[in-house]
Chains A and B, each alone.
Chain A
Amino acid sequence: DSGVTQTPKHLITATGQRVTLRCSPRSGDLSVYWYQQSLDQGLQFLIQYYNGEERAKGNILERFSAQQFPDLHSELNLSSLELGDSALYFCASSVTGTDYEQFFGPGTRLTVL
């Protein structure tokens, strides 16, 4: 158990819908990272937050957004969902914004029908 929690574990929805994925980092960690893992793309970095502020952006679509709240939990919002958005979404956390070691949560499996 990495100490990072993610909810829900599974999510099934229809195209065009909007969903919110939630992540709580390890106690004491200030930085949260979101990744997408699909069969043909591997682990792709989406976005990083540090202490409530966006720190870095990766291959995140405009239909996706995230935020980190004062209690340091983070939410990833996915809207206008498409079939291709079906994937595992992982949250990771680290102590600081520049830590090399990231600890991953168990992931949310999103299925878009």
Chain B
Amino acid sequence: GQQLNQSPQSMFIQEGEDVSMNCTSSSIFNTWLWYKQDPGEGPVLLIALYKAGELTSNGRLTAQFGITRKDSFLNISASIPSDVGIYFCAGRGSSGSARQLTFGSGTQLTVLP
């Protein structure tokens, strides 16, 4: 089956710093999604990417769909305390079981004041 490696597993940063996290896949995806999950809540969709090389922003968040179609990156600029949470990447292939979303293991972000 498809496997997603998400890194880093956790990050501790100072408020105001920029953050980068990434996901790599063992197979080609045609969609990459980035979600954020707060404690006790469901994941919230942040950014969706549909095309290799695509760069999409949502406020202070920017995500890119890697050219190889096997990776994606999420950057958060000028972090603030409410950025705290777990960030998940999710990818989707083009056929069979690969058409279901596969989730990365998450990056736990802590923003220190």
**Which of the four size classes fits the interface of chain B?**
20 to 34
Q: Would you list 17 pairs from A and B whose C-beta atoms are within 8 A, ordered by A residue?
A: A2-B42, A2-B44, A42-B88, A42-B103, A42-B105, A45-B100, A56-B99, A58-B100, A92-B42, A98-B99, A100-B48, A100-B92, A101-B33, A104-B35, A104-B43, A106-B41, A107-B40
Q: Is A64 an interface residue (CB 8 A)?
A: no
CA of A109 to CA of B39 in the docked complex: distance in angstroms? 12
Q: Is B13 an interface residue (CB 8 A)?
A: no
In the complex, what's the smallest C-beta–C-beta distance from B29 to chain A, in angstroms?
10
For residue A90, which residues in chain B have a CB less than 8 angstroms away from its CB?
42-43
Q: Is the interface of A mostly helix, strand, loop or mixed?
A: strand
Q: Which 7 A-B pairs have the closest CB atoms?
A: A104-B42, A43-B103, A100-B31, A104-B43, A42-B105, A45-B100, A106-B42
Contact with B along A78-113 (1 / 0, CB 8 A): 000000000000101000001011111111010000
- Contact A107 B41, CB 8 Å, known A42-B105, A100-B31: yes
Q: Which B residues are closer than 8 A to A by beta carbons?
A: 31, 33, 35, 40-45, 48, 50, 88, 90, 92, 97, 99-106
Contact B101 A102 (CB under 8 A): yes
